[in-house]
Amino acid sequence: MTGSGSRNYTFISEPCRTTELAFRVGGPVQNFTVQSGQFFRKGQLIAAIDPRDFLVRKERAEALCRQAEADYRRTASLYEKNNVSGTAYEKARADYARARSDYDMALNELNDTRLIAPFDGYVQQVYIERHQEVKASQPVLTFIDLSQVKLETYVPEDMAVSLRRGAPDSVFQVRFDRLPGQVFAPAETYLTQTAADNNLSFRLTLLLDNQDNSLLGGMAGSLSVSLSSTSASLSSLAIPQAAVCQDDRRGSYVWTVQADGSVSRCPVTLGRLLKDSRVEVVSGLKPGQQVAVTRQAYLNEGEKVVVEQADAAE
């Protein structure tokens, strides 16, 4: 960390939303002239399956539904006058409900022959051709939303703690390699509430407004995070990564070796990953303190150990 309290992180931009679109029914694709990069408005038709078979099923189901409804109404009228049994009435009602359900399903299947844009976006990749026979749920294309671009990077524990506390003077500045001189501010920021798989960093996600379409997915850049002087004044040491242990409830800690050979559990706040398999410790240790780097799982508080290998915080 520099004296100004600023740190830089790299990223590759992504669309804020990416989804694979597919038909919910199968059949031959009839209307399809889509190209990668093509733009569609929300609700606009992208592709269509030949609807003839589905239209026939819908009309047949509609006719049966009308007939079942008429039978039900007639039976219900007779039942009110005690001219038919309750069994006949219940059968007519069930037949109508089943016919209505069949009609609704046929109507839905007919509507599902049309693939509609779920939001304003661009076609990223196309997987089929016109007249191709497709199956239900078979991916047709990848559709992306660039109304905002998403940036993801990973920050160390000390930075995550400062951001989690809402450092009042924190400033995010986003720069893209191909847009020199331009600085962007995120519209939204999100920080994961648990460390990544390596247990040493947290994923930071930023969303940038892109209403003018000046930003694309796949653009490289850097994120500068500036904290207040209080947050930035943390002094740091370095220890081997092997010395760091994790606790689901209490976070990162190390075992320090005391002058009498006993060990003590010491919570630490981690910073950046350094070269030579070392990690920055921004709080919890003092210079020269020895830490255990092997067999930590077998250690207990206050236990005396024989130091075969120890490493000092530097």
For the stretch 35-46, pLDDT in tens is 999 999 999 999
How crowded is residue 247: how many other Cβ atoms within 10 Å of its Cβ? 10
pLDDT given for residue 165 in this prediction:
62
Strand 201-209 and strand 188-191: the pairing is: antiparallel
User: Which of 60-74, 156-170, 243-257 comes out lowest in average pLDDT?
Assistant: 156-170
Cα–Cα dist 108/25, whole Å: 10
Flag whether 33 is in a domain.
no
Q: Are residues 163 and 94 in the same domain?
A: no
Q: What is the mean pLDDT of the chain?
A: 88
pLDDT for position 228: 57
Structural domain count of the chain = 3
Q: Are residues 96 and 245 in the same domain?
A: no
The CATH number assigned to the domain holding 193 equals 2.40.30.170
Could you tell me the CATH number of the domain that includes residue 290?
2.40.420.20
Residue 200 lies in a domain: yes
State the pLDDT confidence band at 287, using cuts at 50, 70 and 90: confident
| Predicted pLDDT of residue 107 | 98
pLDDT score recorded for residue 230: 44
Q: How many helices (H) and strands (E) does the chain have?
A: 4, 21
Give the per-residue pLDDT at 96.
97
Residues 297 and 246 in one domain: yes
* CA dist list (Å): 80 to 66, 72, 74: 21, 12, 10
Q: Is the pLDDT of residue 2 over 50?
A: no
Taking only the tens place, the pLDDT of each residue in 200-259 is 788 999 999 999 999 999 999 999 988 754 444 445 678 898 899 988 777 889 999 988
In a domain, 22, yes or no: no
- What CATH number did the domain enclosing 77 receive? 1.10.287.470
Query: Which pLDDT value is given to residue 234?
Result: 46
Instruction: Flag whether 297 is in a domain.
Output: yes
Lowest mean pLDDT among 54-68, 116-130, 247-261, 296-310: 296-310
| Residue 150 in domain | yes
Token pair of 256 as six digits: 């320090």
Domain of residue 243 covers: 237-312
Lookup: tokens for 80: 């009110």
Residues 152 and 301 in one domain: no
Is residue 182 located within the same domain as residue 213?
Answer: yes
Beta bridge partners of 150: 14, 207
pLDDT at residue 214 in the model: 93
The answer on 223 and 158 residing in a single domain is yes
For residues 281-304, give the mean pLDDT: 86
Highest average pLDDT, of 25-29, 30-34, 158-162, comes from 25-29
198 within 8 A of 189, measured Cβ to Cβ: no
Q: pLDDT value at position 177?
A: 96
